[in-house]
Each structure stands twice: as C-alpha cells, then as structure tokens.
Chains A and B, each alone.
Chain A
Amino acid sequence: MFTLTRTRTRLDRQFDRIRDLEEAGLNKKSTTSRALRKLLNNRLAMFGLAIFLIILLSSAFAPLLTSYDPLGVDMRSILKKPSLLHLFGTDKLGRDVFTRVLYGGRISIFVGLGSALGAASIGVLLGAYGGYKGGWFDKTVIRFSEIFMSFPQLILVMMLVSIFGQGLSNLMIIFIITGWGSVYRLTRARMLSLREEEYVQSLKSFGLNDFIICYKHILPNAISPIVVNITLSTAMFILEESALSFLGLGVPLEIATWGNILNASQDLFTLQNTWWLWLPVGVTISLFVMSINFVGDGLRDTTDPTQQG
C-alpha cells in the first residue's frame, strides 16, 4: 500500500499533534488570522524574512554600524585583508568594503523596490480598469503589454540604456517601462473573474461610479497575488541592476551599488588574490534576493489556495 510505506514528513507530524490535541479536548480557538499563522509556520519564509530584515536594516542604519565614508579614499590602507578594523577589508583605493556594501545596499534596494512599486502601480492601474471595463482601452493596452513582453527583458533594458543613457533615475524609469507587463496581466486576469461576482452586480445596480467599483470594491480582492508579484519583481530588479552595473551599463560608477562594487573586481588578478573585494558582496546579493524570494513564495502559499504543495 502506497500510503503506508510513504515516509512521514513534518506536515504529517504536525497533523498528528493537532489530532492529539483535539482528541484530548485541548484544542483552543486561535485568535490570530489564519493566513498569518500559516505564514509564521512557514520556516523558509520566516528564515527569509529574518535575513531580509537584517540586510535591510543594516543598510538603512549604515552610519550607525560603520564610521567610514563609502567614498572616502585612504591611500595608506590599500587592499588590506579583512580585519577587525575593516570587516571586509579595503579596496584598491583604500575604501572600506563593508561600508561600501552597506551603503551600496541602500541604492540597490531602493532601485529594486522603487522600480517594482512603480511598475506595479502602472500595471495595477491599467490592469484593474482594463480588466473591469474591457473594450477598446483594454484591447489597446494588452497589445502594448504584448509588445513589451516579447522582448527578452535584459535586451530591452540594455537597448533603452543605450538610447537614454545611464543614470540612477534613467535606470529606474527603464525598469518600470519594461516591468509593468507582468503585474498588468495578473491584475487583469483577476479582475476578469472578479467582475462577474454578484456583489459587483449589486454595486452596479446602486449606480456607483465605475472607478469606485473598480478600484475601491474589486481591487482589494485581487491584492494578494499583486503583493506576491511585487516581492518577486523586487528580487528580479535587484538582480538586473547588479547585472547591468556589472556590465558597466547600470548606475554610474561613482555611486556605490552592489553591482558596481562587483564591477570593480572583474579582472582575474582580483578574482584570484583579493577575494574580499567580491565574495562578500556577491554573497550579500544572493542572500538578499533569496530572502525576498522565500518571503514572496511564503506569501503566495498562504494567500493562494490553488498553489498548495
């Protein structure tokens, strides 16, 4: 029998505990929300949230954690190995790498989160109305999004960078232009099914304004997949920013970002001999992106009933 030979998992043990409690009559009614309990119970998501908060807060409070200037050149201490004085060592200009990683995180996270929020607001605005109303507006916007979606993302971003030039704000605008499509499609698809609900019919019969029905009454019901999408696209944009900066096409090199710190250590000498210039930054990016992905996945598991498992 299949079910008897199956190895028992953590979930099975949990169910057993709950059943034992129920049989003993000790099962108390929980007061917190079900989704929150589910999220708190997801070990990977909690682990991700912890790492996410640690990196986010240490970037935000960088001046408290380090006394160095991220751009302060110190010619007396060039390429020093990691020590108590310089946790991640110093780079070719004597700048403290730990400080640069912290301050770089500010820009990288800002670019990632800002672009994701910007892309999401455009996508939600267009997707909610288009999905609810349909008609020529919807048809036009969906064609537009198809055009953007058919470009490989990095190719489109690089092409736009070559036209508009590099720079922090340019990069964010380009990310928003290239990234709104996925949120748009998601929101539109949710709206298409939600608009058939009966409460929408009744709102309509009350003679409410289309905008109010659409944004105030239907949109809140579509919000959870959008939040998941924002977290996942934040991770994507952080990766893209670092890839672009690594290629020398992202944020100008004067500004410390995670990608720019790595950009300065591309040569084989650095790779082989001064590992502290690139390994801590690379690990930080990977950990941060991974933590966002875990949180996003956890959120999806708790809010989306179709994605169990």
Chain B
Amino acid sequence: MLKFSLKKILAMIPMALVISFLIYLGLELTPGDAVSYMIPPDQLANVSPEKLEAIRELYGLNDPFIVRYFRWLIQMLQGNFGFSLTNGVPIKKILLETYPATLELSVAALLISTLLGSFLGIVSAIRRGSIADNALTVAGMLGVSIPQFFLGMVSILLFALQLKWLPIGGRMLPGQTDLLSHIRFLILPALVLGVTLTAGVMRYSRSSMLDTMNKDYIRTARSKGLPEWRVNLIHGFRVAITPVVVLIGFRLPMLIGGSVVIETIFQWPGIGNAFNMAVRGQNYPLVMTIALFSVFAVLIASLLVDILTAALDPRVKLH
C-alpha cells in the first residue's frame, strides 16, 4: 500500500513540473513588460531607457527563459507568489484570505450533492421504471442543462428578493459572526452549486445500484427471506455506494469551475471570485497562480482517489 502510494506520488511530480512550466510560459506570453508593473505609471515616463535596462538586469529579466522559469519555480516553492498587479497586495495574502470561503462553499456543495444524489439515485434504482424514476431522470437532466448562473439568478429573485428569506449575496455581515446568521448566507450558493452536481452523482449511483442489484448475493439475500428494505439498504446500498463516494474526487474540477460562476453571482469572497476579477483586470500573476493551484488541487484529488480505490477495492492491482 505504502509502496503503491509512493509510486503514484512520484509519477505525479513530472506532471506537476510540466504544468507549472506551461503556466509560466503562459505568463511570459501575456502582453506587457514585467518592468512596467514595478514602477507607478505616472513615473514611468521619467525613467530613462538605460535605467529600465538596469532594472531588467537587476531582476534577471534578460536571462534565458529556462533560467527565469527555474527562478520563478523556486520562488513559488518557497511560497513567494509575487504581487497582485492591480493593488500590489501579495498574492499569498489574497489566497489565504479567499481560500477558507471557497473551501466552505465547496464542502457544503459536495455534501449536498453526495447526500442528495446518492439518495435519489438509489431511490430511482429501486423503483426502476416507475413514475418516480422517470421524473428523477428528467429532473436530473434539467439539473445538468440549466446554466448555473441562470439557476443562481432565479434563486436570488425567488428566495432573496421576493420571499426575502435569505440574503442576496456576500458571506457575512460585519459584526454578525455567529453560526446561524453565517449559514443563511451559505444556503443559496451552496444549494445552487450542489444541485448542478447532484445530477451526475444521481445518475452514477443509480447505475451502480442497478449493477449491484443484479448480483447473485442479492438474490441469495432475498431467497433467505430478508425483508426488502434490508436487502436494499444493508446488502445493496453498502456495496453500491463505494464508487459513488470515490467519485467525489472526480467532481473537484467541476466544483472549482462552478465556484467561479457561483461566487461571482453571489458575491462570495472566494478564490473563484478573485480569479474572475483577475482575468477581467488582466492581473496575470494572480490568474496564473490560481490556475496553478487549481490544477494541483485536481492532481492531488485524483491521487487520493487512486489510493482510496486501491484501498477499498482489492481487485485493483497494486503495481
């Protein structure tokens, strides 16, 4: 097991290096001169070309590309992500400020989609072919087809503007830090993000449950005379649910992508919102750093999925 995990981790390193290289290449391709970012615009005209050249030399901007890449990589590994172009704040600070909000939203959405999706999927598998199953299939299709932002807009209109049950957006009011008022802000964005993910989970758990229900040991359990709920829940569900839970890792990319849209609509102060602002403001260092981190999050998640699957399923070969 340990050997398997180590092997997987080692295999990830070249991948991470290539991706970081590509992202640095993207940073180089962006329009603009790195020097012009370091000097306030109103003073730029007064700086002589020789001085600019000296600054370039000082910061090593004239070095070959590959040297600059490794210098950048070492800086990144040490946690120096550079500065935001728009307000000069260290990127590390922005990340540390926004990431708890995104984590909170993602965990809530993951919980909602996993619980709701596996429950509905199993209901529709047990009642296969019934009206409930067909209705859930259509509803699930609707869930993946409605644009997230449209669902967000409608839910803001309905629950925040018309019914006034929940706040329009934001994460908390100044001064109100208790849990209850905090959760009120979380409900809408988490639900909208969660519902769009639910459909996929539902479909997957439905087919996984159908698969399981056709197995011989389920027939054995039935022929023993066990009550139907016991067969479904204890014998079927327990086996069917394992791949569904493992699927969480594969939902992470969708979750990160979705959080950009949802956080923007609900003014949620998370990484997705920061990323959107950075792209719009052409704040390239911040764009690249967030992209790099989201790829690493996906890589680590798929690594965990691999290890988890190997741990849960003895049929997966460990080499």
> A309: which B residues are within 8 A, CB to CB?
128, 207, 210
Contact between A150 and B15 (Cβ–Cβ < 8 Å)?
yes
Contact between A271 and B144 (Cβ–Cβ < 8 Å)?
no
In the assembled complex, the Cα of A294 lies from the Cα of B144 at a distance in Å of 11
> B222: which A residues are within 8 A, CB to CB?
2
Closest chain A residue, CB of each to CB of B152: A246
Q: Is B175 interfacial (CB-CB < 8 Å)? A: no
Contact between A153 and B130 (Cβ–Cβ < 8 Å)?
no
Q: A278-B153, A286-B146 are contacts. A162–B257 as well, Cβ < 8 Å?
A: no
Q: Is B145 interfacial (CB-CB < 8 Å)? A: yes
Q: Is B114 interfacial (CB-CB < 8 Å)? A: no
In the assembled complex, the Cα of A289 lies from the Cα of B146 at a distance in Å of 8
Q: Is B224 interfacial (CB-CB < 8 Å)? A: no
Contact between A271 and B157 (Cβ–Cβ < 8 Å)?
yes
Interface string of A61-89 (1 = CB under 8 A from B): 00000000000000000000000000000
Contact between A290 and B26 (Cβ–Cβ < 8 Å)?
no
In the assembled complex, the Cα of A151 lies from the Cα of B288 at a distance in Å of 12
Q: A154-B257, A243-B261, A282-B153 are contacts. A235–B19 as well, Cβ < 8 Å?
A: no
Q: Is B186 interfacial (CB-CB < 8 Å)? A: no
Instruction: Report B1 CB to chain A, min CB distance, Å.
Output: 24
Q: Is A176 interfacial (CB-CB < 8 Å)? A: no
Closest chain B residue, CB of each to CB of A144: B18
Q: Is B253 interfacial (CB-CB < 8 Å)? A: yes
Instruction: Report A10 CB to chain B, min CB distance, Å.
Output: 7
Interface string of A123-167 (1 = CB under 8 A from B): 000000000000000000001001100111111101111110000
> B29: which A residues are within 8 A, CB to CB?
163
> B15: which A residues are within 8 A, CB to CB?
146-147, 150
Q: Is B254 interfacial (CB-CB < 8 Å)? A: yes
In the assembled complex, the Cα of A286 lies from the Cα of B153 at a distance in Å of 13
Partner of B294, one of A152, A160, A249, A294: A152
Contact between B294 and A151 (Cβ–Cβ < 8 Å)?
yes
Closest chain A residue, CB of each to CB of B203: A297
Q: A146-B15, A159-B291, A162-B282 are contacts. A282–B147 as well, Cβ < 8 Å?
A: yes
Q: A162-B287, A268-B168 are contacts. A155–B294 as well, Cβ < 8 Å?
A: yes
Q: Is B113 interfacial (CB-CB < 8 Å)? A: no
In the assembled complex, the Cα of A2 lies from the Cα of B264 at a distance in Å of 50
Which residues of chain A from 98 to 142 have a CB within 8 Å of any chain B CB?
Answer: none
Partner of B129, one of A9, A146, A151, A242: A9
Instruction: Report B11 CB to chain A, min CB distance, Å.
Output: 11
Q: Is A262 interfacial (CB-CB < 8 Å)? A: yes
Q: Is A11 interfacial (CB-CB < 8 Å)? A: yes
> A286: which B residues are within 8 A, CB to CB?
142, 145-147, 150
Q: List 16 A-B contacts (CB under 8 A).
A: A10-B129, A147-B22, A152-B295, A154-B260, A155-B256, A155-B257, A155-B290, A155-B294, A159-B26, A163-B30, A239-B145, A243-B261, A247-B260, A248-B280, A293-B145, A309-B210
